[in-house]
Amino acid sequence: MLWVLLSLLTIAQPIEEEVRALDAYEIERVLNPSEGVAVVIYSNPDVQDRTREAGLLLHEFVGEADFQFMVLVDLRKTMADWAPGYTKRRIQRDLMEKFKALPPIPNRDLEKMGRPDVSAIADFKGETCNQLGWSKPKNQLRILIFYNGKEVNRWEDLTEMQELPDAVRNLLQLEASDS
């Protein structure tokens, strides 16, 4: 009984502080920025195809001033932990391929700096995942949406993919009407 209560407490805890992490380019990212819409998509080797599908649904928003999305790659208990430098370079290569399908950013060296609105974070020890309430790796498509720093949507296993772009669209419209 005590174990059930403790697990419920860890799930229900709202995220109160800024969550910061270094992305694959070693650039510090705020996962729940105080302004705009931020989407965090959880990934691990078992859900990477679903992660890609969710990411593709967000392409229509990339380039909007008040939008960013990050993929948080949970690498706990994987062989990637043995070669973090190689893993980050591989993530950078994968991102560069995806950047080709996105609107260009003038005067920005994407190879060295990535994009400000799309990034990937390799979490080797689970530190960032834990801050978001994801204490154990799962084979589920977990997604968080933050609006002006506050968590507004959380899916522990998104199955209806259209819910994601619909939620982002609604928040961006709200952001536009507030301006």
State pLDDT tens for residues 55-91.
999 999 999 989 999 999 999 988 887 888 999 999 9
Give the pLDDT of residue 109.
87
Q: Quick check: 6 pLDDT over 60?
A: no
Tokens standing for residue 56: 């593709």
Separation CA 163–CA 83 (nearest Å): 36
What mean pLDDT do residues 122-149 have?
Answer: 95
Sheet of 150-155: strand order equals: 118-123, 67-74, 37-43, 143-147, 150-155
User: Can you read off the two tokens belonging to residue 135?
Assistant: 């204490």
What type of residue sits at position 90? R
Give the residue from 101, 156, 127 showing the smallest Cα distance to 22.
127
Cβ pair 54, 164 in contact under 8 A: yes
Q: Is it the case that residue 2 has pLDDT exceeding 90? A: no
Task: Please report the pLDDT score of residue 13 as a whole number.
Answer: 63
Interval 29-36 mean pLDDT: 96
The CA-based dihedral angle spanning residues 94, 23, 68, 167, taken in that order and rounded to the nearest 10 degrees? 80
| CA nearest neighbour of 138 among 123, 152, 122, 156 | 156
* CA dist., res. 114 & res. 94, Å (int): 11
Distance CA 98, CA 118 (A): 10
Q: For residue 42, which of 106, 107, 123 has the smallest C-alpha distance?
A: 123
Check residue 77 and report its DSSP letter.
T
**Is-contact 32 151, C-beta < 8 A?**
yes
Of 66, 67, 63, the residue nearest 40 (C-alpha): 67
pLDDT-derived band at 3, boundaries 50, 70, 90? very low
d(CA 107, CA 46): 36
